[in-house]
Amino acid sequence: MNKIVVVDYGMGNLRSVAQALRHVAPEADVRISGELADIRSADRLVLPGQGAIPDCMRCLRESGLQEAVVESTRTKPLLGVCVGEQLLFDWSEEGNTEGLGLLPGKVVRFQLHDKLQADGSRFKVPQMGWNRVKQTLSHPLWNGIADNSYFYFVHSYYAVPEDAKHTAGETDYGGPFTSVVAKDNIFATQFHPEKSASAGLQLYKNFVYWKP
């Protein structure tokens, strides 16, 4: 059986993620867990995150799961969601926080105070709501999802990969930024697939059956 563990380290939209996975893969063993044994025996992991990255890193570290998550990325598919994507990088300027270092790069805050939207209004930070994602990399997790589909975002910070080849999707908010990253068996989104209607569900379904 395909065992999918949504990592419970005390931060993130766990239930909504798990419900979306169960919807697209009713035959899979989907569980929310903070147990080391579950992390290590999982076939694939989902790393969610919500709130401030310093809090997420602290909770992940104090939960005792950080090392197991990093180890797991060497052998099994991992999907990062929202702050779970940001955690994968080397460093975030939010609280001058070190990340997991699984992807080279940094996380920075939107600087949009001098920019106006097409209607003349100011950009709001955080970005909250629907926005398009341009697929910049051919990847199995994009299967069945139209280019420039809308996904749901809630964030003030975004990832800046050191290597452009790790950018799998871009979104425009006062200028283009990386909204999806991919490297080997890691795929991660700044948006929330579980809040993104049919396109988000298709992405979760693709992850369930992905064989990197």
- Residues forming the active site: 82, 192, 194
Amino acid identity, position 97: T
Distance CA 93, CA 109 (A): 7
| Cross-strand pairs, 189 | 81, 180
Name residues whose C-beta falls within 8 Å of residue 7's C-beta, 6 or more positions apart in sequence: 33, 34, 39, 45, 46, 47, 48, 65, 69
d(C-alpha 83, C-alpha 105), whole Å: 15
- Contacting residues for 67 by C-beta, under 8 A, at least 6 apart: none
Residue 116 neighbours by CB distance under 10 Å:
11
